A = this chain, B = another copy of it.
Amino acid sequence: MSLSSYRSPFSEQTHDHSLCIIEALEIANKLCTQRGARLTPLRRQVLELIWQSHKSLGAYKILEKLQNTQGGRAAPPTVYRALDFLLKQGLIHRIASLNAFIGCLHPDSPHVGQFFICQTCGNTAELEAPHLHADLLQQAHQLGFKVEKSTIELMGVCPHCQSLVSL
């Protein structure tokens, strides 16, 4: 169970993003049901807002969007609580270098998020690179270090934006 309709955030023109959103929400529903976690309307709405694109979204942008649909009633803690829940359930990741949040592509399997973030368009691809993580863990092992959480974020320029620059 993971996001099959997802192709690449770096070819936004060529994938039907509404499918990403629908799938992400369906998976979220299923996982929360399985786990006895409550995907309340608010939490679901925040998840949906985050999934509007493959760009990461700041907490205050989310707040703004919430207020636009709710009549100005939400406050920062409302957003952060929903984000905390979604993070705990593995439904989103936090991008530390941007203080922003992004939907997780395979929330069902515990994993390490590795991100390629385009500085130009903001689109962000989550990678699965188990051998890379294995390398890191091996390095850690050599140091005697017990890894509990990893942050791997590569900033750069996506292929699409590179092609635009060269025009």
Q: Which residues of A contact B (CB under 8 A)?
A: 8, 10, 96-97, 116, 118-119, 125, 127, 129, 131-132, 135-136, 139-140, 143-159, 162
Contacts and interface: CB of A to CB of B under 8 A. Distances in A.
Contacts of A131: 135
Given A139-B127, A140-B116, A157 B145 contact: yes
Contacts of A162: 144, 146
Given A96-B97, A116-B140, A135-B132, A157 B146 contact: yes
A116 B127 CA distance: 21
Closest 4 CB pairs of A and B: A144-B159, A96-B96, A151-B153, A96-B97
A159 to B, nearest CB: 3
A156 B148 contact: yes
B148 A151 contact: no
Contact of A148 (B139, B150, B152, B157): B157
A157 B144 CA distance: 9
A73 B34 CA distance: 57
Given A149-B154, A151-B155, 17 more contacts: A10-B144, A96-B96, A96-B97, A96-B153, A97-B151, A118-B145, A127-B143, A129-B135, A143-B158, A144-B162, A145-B159, A147-B155, A147-B156, A148-B156, A148-B157, A150-B155, A152-B152
